[in-house]
Structure 1
Amino acid sequence: MARVVKEQEHAARRGEILDVAQQLVESRGYEQMSIQDVLDRMQISKGAFYHYFGSKHALLEALVARRLAEAEQRLLPIVHDPQLPALAKFERFFATANNWKLEQKGFVLKLMRVWYADSNALMRQKVRTAALSVLAPLFTAIAAQGVAEGVLNAAYPEQVGMVMLSLSHDFGDILAVQMLAHEPAPAKAERMAQIIAVYADAIERVLGAPPGSITVTDAATLRAWADATEAEF
C-alpha cells in the first residue's frame, strides 16, 4: 500500500512540474525558459527536479508525451462509439483533434520554432514513433469499420492507420513551414487550405472513400491559426 501511495505522490509531483513548465513555455517560450525558472516557481531544489527529469530536453519530451496521451483520451470515445458510422467518426475525429489543438494554441506556437530546429530532429522522430503506436490503431479501427459498412474499399485496412498518420505528420511539417512564413494571414490561410485539400484527397484515396467525404478541417480553423501565427511570428 505504501508503495502505491509513493507512486501516486511521484506521479502527482511530476504532473505539477509539467504544469508549471507548460505555463512557462506559454508565457516565455521554451528557449527562454530555464530549469531555474521551474525551480523558483515550484520552490524545489535542483536535485528534486532531476529526480523527475534528467534535463530540460527530457522535460520537453515529457510535455509532448503528455499532450499525446491527452489527445488519445479525447479521441478514444469517438472510435468506440457504437452509434456512429465510420465516415461520421472520421469527421468527428478530425474536428475533435482540431479543437484540442486550438485549445493548446499558445503552447504549440511557443514551441514551434524550437520544435523544428535541427537539434530536435531526434526527439521529433521519437515522438513520431510514439504517436504511430498510440494513434495509428485508432485510424485503423475506423477504417476497418468503414470497410465492413461498405463505405470504404481500402485494400489493406489493417495498414491504413499507419499510412494515414504518416501522411498526417508529413503534411503537418509542411503546414508548419507555412505557419512560420512571414506573410499576411489571408494569404497564409489560403495556402494552408490548399495543402489541407491535397491531404484530404490523399487520405480519401488511401481509405478508398468517396471524393469529398472526408473533412480534415474548416476555413475558420485555418484562419484562426493564420491569424495567431501572424501575431506570434
Structure 2
Amino acid sequence: MREDVRCPNSRPTAGQSAGAQGVWVTRTVKTSAERQQELVEIALRLFLEKGYEATTISEVIAATGLSKGAFYHHFAAKEDLLEAIAVRIVDDSLSQIDAVLNDRGLNAFERLDAYFAHASSWKSGDGQRVVLAFARIFRPDNLLLYHRLHLAVMKKIAPVLGRIIAEGVADQVFDTPDAETAAELLVLLNASTHDLMARLVVAKTLAERNAAADALDRRLLMVGIAADRLLGLPDGSVRFAVPGFAQDLARLLPALEDKGEAHNIVPLMRS
C-alpha cells in the first residue's frame, strides 16, 4: 500500500510537488500481514544463524528497524514469534506439495510416497541452502523451534495424511484399522529420527559424521519398514528418504559451511 506524506522543510525534487509546509512524497506502507511476515522471516534467519536461545527480541527488532511498540503489536512474546514461524514453515511445505496430495490421478500410496519424497528434493542449487537451514533446526540451541515445528506438523499435516490413508483403506491400498491414528504414528515415526539428525548436524570430525550418517540411514530404513507394517504394505514400500540420504547430507553440510552458506540462508518460507 502507498500513501502520500508531507515532509516538512524539504525541497522538492523531480516528480514531487511543494506544499505550504513541505514536500509531498510517496512511501510504501506495509499491511499488518506483510509486516508480520517480515518479522517471521527475519526472526527465522536469526534463529538459524545464532540459535533460538541466543537470539533476543531486541536483536529481532533491530534487524527489522521497527520500534518495540510496533513489534509487540504483532507478537506479545518471543514464544508467539516461534509459534508463527513453525506454522508458516508447515503451511509453506503443504502449499508446495498440495497439488500432488490432492491429485486424484494418483492412488493413495502414490500420494503418500510423494509426500515423503518431497523432503529429499534438495540436491542442488537453492535446495542446498534450504537443507542447511533445515539441518540447523536440529541443533541443541533450536530444540524449542523443533518442538514447535513438530506440533505444527501433527496439527496440520497429520490430518492430511489421515485422509489419504482413509482413502487408501477404502480402495484396499492400505490395511489399517484406524487411519487417523496411523497418520499420527507416521508423524511420530518421522520425529524418531531427531536424535540422529542432531548427532549428524553437530558432528565435528569425518569419523563422527560418517558414524552418525550410517546410524541415521539405518534408522530411516527401519522407520520405513515400521510404516509399511502399520499400513499393511510389503516391507520396503514406504521410504522416508531416498537411499543414502544421510550420507549425502553428511557430505553436503561441511561444504556449505565452508563456502559461507550459513550467512546466505534461503528462507524456508515462500511468499
TM-score normalised to structure 1 length: 0.80
User: Does 25-34 or 44-53 show the bigger shift?
Assistant: 25-34
Q: What is the alpha-carbon distance in structure 2 between the residues aligned to residue 103 and residue 220 of structure 1?
A: 19
Q: Is the 8 A contact 2:213 2:250 kept in 1?
A: yes
Q: Specify whether residues 109 and 124 from structure 1 end up closer, same or farther in structure 2 by C-alpha distance, changes over 3 A only.
A: closer
Residue identity (%) = 26
RMSD over aligned Cα atoms: 2.8
Out of 216, 230, 244, the position equivalent to 1:192 is 216
Name the aligned partner's letter for residue 105 of structure 1.
V
Specify the alignment match of 1:208 in structure 2.
Answer: 232
Within 5 A, what are the aligned runs for 1:53-202?
Answer: 53-99=75-121, 104-111=130-137, 112-116=139-143, 120=144, 127-184=149-206, 185-202=209-226
Superimposed CA distance per residue, residues 123-179 of structure 1 (whole angstroms, 9 cap, x where no aligned partner): 765543432221111221222232233232223234311221122223334433454
Name the aligned partner's letter for residue 20 of structure 1.
I
Name the aligned partner's letter for residue 156 of structure 1.
D
TM superposition shift of 1:230:
5.0
User: Does 66-75 or 219-228 show the bigger shift?
Assistant: 219-228
Within 5 A, what are the aligned runs for 1:2-21?
Answer: 9-21=31-43
Q: Specify whether residues 109 and 175 from structure 1 end up closer, same or farther in structure 2 by C-alpha distance, changes over 3 A only.
A: closer
Q: Is the 8 A contact 1:75 1:97 kept in 2?
A: no
User: Does 140-149 or 208-217 show the bigger shift?
Assistant: 140-149
Name the aligned partner's letter for residue 133 of structure 2.
F
Q: What is the alpha-carbon distance in structure 2 between the residues aligned to residue 198 and residue 99 of structure 1?
A: 21
Q: What is the alpha-carbon distance in structure 2 between the residues aligned to residue 134 and residue 26 of structure 1?
A: 23
Query: Aligned pair count?
Result: 221
Specify the alignment match of 2:18 in structure 1.
Answer: none
The structure number with the bigger radius of gyration is: 2
Superimposed CA distance per residue, residues 177-223 of structure 1 (whole angstroms, 9 cap, x where no aligned partner): 45434452333221111000110011001001122111211235322
Name the aligned partner's letter for residue 200 of structure 1.
G
Specify the alignment match of 1:3 in structure 2.
Answer: none
Q: Is the 8 A contact 1:30 1:110 kept in 2?
A: no
TM-score normalised to structure 2 length: 0.70
- Consecutive unaligned residues of structure 1, counting only runs of 5 or more, are 1-7
User: Does 98-107 or 201-210 show the bigger shift?
Assistant: 98-107
Q: Specify whether residues 127 and 25 from structure 1 end up closer, same or farther in structure 2 by C-alpha distance, changes over 3 A only.
A: closer
Q: Is the 8 A contact 1:189 1:222 kept in 2?
A: yes
TM superposition shift of 1:65:
1.9
Q: Is the 8 A contact 2:52 2:142 kept in 1?
A: no
